Amino acid sequence: MKFKIGFTADSEYENNADNHIVTVSQNETPMKSVVQVHFPARHMTLAYFNDAFDLHLGDIVYVDGKLEGLQGYVVDVAYTFKIKISDYKKVIAKADTNVKGKFHMLGSHFVTFDRTALPFQKVITWFNAPINSEDEHIISNDNTVFPLDNLSDMNVRQDVAVRGENYYLENKVVYICIDGTHGNAIVRGSKYYEVEFNYSNGEVSNLVCNCFCSYTCKHEFAVILQLREALQNIEKYYTPQYEQSNYFAVISKPILFSFAIEGKDSGSITLE
């Protein structure tokens, strides 16, 4: 039996007993507030001024100041206040955890063929601070090309391959997608690492990770193993969907539930 999961957050309320869809409106209008933000990495909770986002308890945010780049969680919101703006740093970004689209079971992960459901630019904000537009990024690689069905040509050290396989088996590749021939992935390690690659005609090229190893790293090897598994299962169960869209995004089941569902007081889930 195939299972499909649909997420939605529409602007009007519905209650349909036949398919158990419940949809509740959401207010996205920014309201000025003073918010308490907890930073797990520093075990600190600090106050920040916010005038750009509609913030609620549990929202993932990023701030300016000394803790810029660290992920924080809103633990309190005050709308009534009188403050001196110069005494407060500001909330500069909010992770977009609103998810809408159709997802299919794919082993330990879900898969969607809808480009708008879980684009990389959305998911990466769940883990890492947005990139400053003024920062310059340079990507380089050694132009190695290898077939996905023969990883002996991947040029990875044995000890690195073992650690990468452990990452794969422990489901640390939390997200992977291919749009046309370009791929992105997110791997959970000591922090969340970003891996990029190209995939075409059964071959992988331009593989690079932002952990800055001088050799093929465990994050890259884990991604390749996850990519191989995902493509095998997609070919087995969802070939028409992939051929039609030329796109897929795969995400860890616990990650999707943790960020897209837990703590939400509106939206809906549809099981078919």
Task: Give the tens place of pLDDT for each residue, 69-90.
Answer: 999 999 999 999 999 999 999 9
Q: Is residue 8 part of a domain?
A: no
> Are 116 and 248 within one domain?
yes
Looking at 58, 75, 94, the residue that finishes a domain is: 94
> Are 81 and 133 within one domain?
no
Q: Is residue 266 part of a domain?
A: no
**Higher pLDDT, residue 173 or 16:** 173
> Which structural domain range is residue 219 located in?
101-260
User: How confident is the model at residue 269, as a pLDDT?
Assistant: 74
Looking at 94, 126, 147, the residue that finishes a domain is: 94
Mean pLDDT, rounded, for 15-25:
31
Question: How many C-beta atoms lie closer than 10 Å to residue 162's C-beta?
Answer: 12
> Are 38 and 67 within one domain?
yes
User: How confident is the model at residue 224, as a pLDDT?
Assistant: 98
Cβ contact 26:265 at 8 Å: no
User: How confident is the model at residue 266, as a pLDDT?
Assistant: 75
How confident is residue 139, by pLDDT bands cut at 50, 70 and 90? low
How confident is residue 132, by pLDDT bands cut at 50, 70 and 90? low
Q: Is residue 66 part of a domain?
A: yes
Nearest of 234, 232, 182 to residue 208 by alpha carbon:
182
Looking at 54, 77, 94, the residue that finishes a domain is: 94
> Are 80 and 109 within one domain?
no
- Provide the mean pLDDT of the chain: 87
How confident is residue 108, by pLDDT bands cut at 50, 70 and 90? very high
Spatial separation of the C-alpha atoms in residues 146 and 249, rounded to whole Å: 22
> Are 90 and 128 within one domain?
no
The single residue listed with the structure tokens 């690689």 is 141
Domains contained in the chain, number: 2
Q: Is residue 147 part of a domain?
A: yes
Q: Is the pLDDT of residue 148 over 80?
A: yes
Q: Is residue 5 part of a domain?
A: no
Contacts of 61 (CB under 8 A, 6+ apart): 35, 37, 48, 53, 55, 72, 73, 74, 91, 93, 94, 95
Measure Cα distances from 11 to 131, 210, 262 in Å: 30, 38, 20
Q: Is residue 180 part of a domain?
A: yes
User: How confident is the model at residue 49, as a pLDDT?
Assistant: 98
How confident is residue 174, by pLDDT bands cut at 50, 70 and 90? very high
Q: Is the pLDDT of residue 250 over 70?
A: yes
Angle between the 158-169 and 218-237 helix axes, to the nearest 10 degrees?
Answer: 50
Q: Is the pLDDT of residue 261 over 90?
A: no
> Are 63 and 126 within one domain?
no
CA end-to-end span of the chain, whole Å?
Answer: 10
Q: Which pLDDT tens digit goes with each residue over 42-61? A: 999 999 999 999 999 999 99
Mean pLDDT, rounded, for 16-24:
30
- pTM (2 decimals)? 0.85
> Are 60 and 178 within one domain?
no
> Are 243 and 118 within one domain?
yes
User: How confident is the model at residue 23, as a pLDDT?
Assistant: 27
> Are 106 and 87 within one domain?
no
Measure Cα distances from 161 to 140, 158, 182, 191, 204 in Å: 22, 5, 23, 19, 16
* SS3 (DSSP) at 54: coil
Cβ contact 78:49 at 8 Å: no
User: How confident is the model at residue 183, as a pLDDT?
Assistant: 98
Measure Cα distances from 77 to 16, 33, 39, 85, 151 in Å: 34, 6, 15, 16, 51
Q: Is residue 24 part of a domain?
A: no
> Are 197 and 242 within one domain?
yes
> Are 88 and 109 within one domain?
no
> Are 48 and 108 within one domain?
no
Mean pLDDT, rounded, for 27-54:
92
Question: How many C-beta atoms lie closer than 10 Å to residue 122's C-beta?
Answer: 16
* SS3 (DSSP) at 28: coil
Q: Is residue 161 part of a domain?
A: yes
Instruction: Give a three-class secondary structure readout of 170-210.
Output: CCCEEEEEEECCEEEEEEECCCEEEEEEEEECCEEEEEEEC
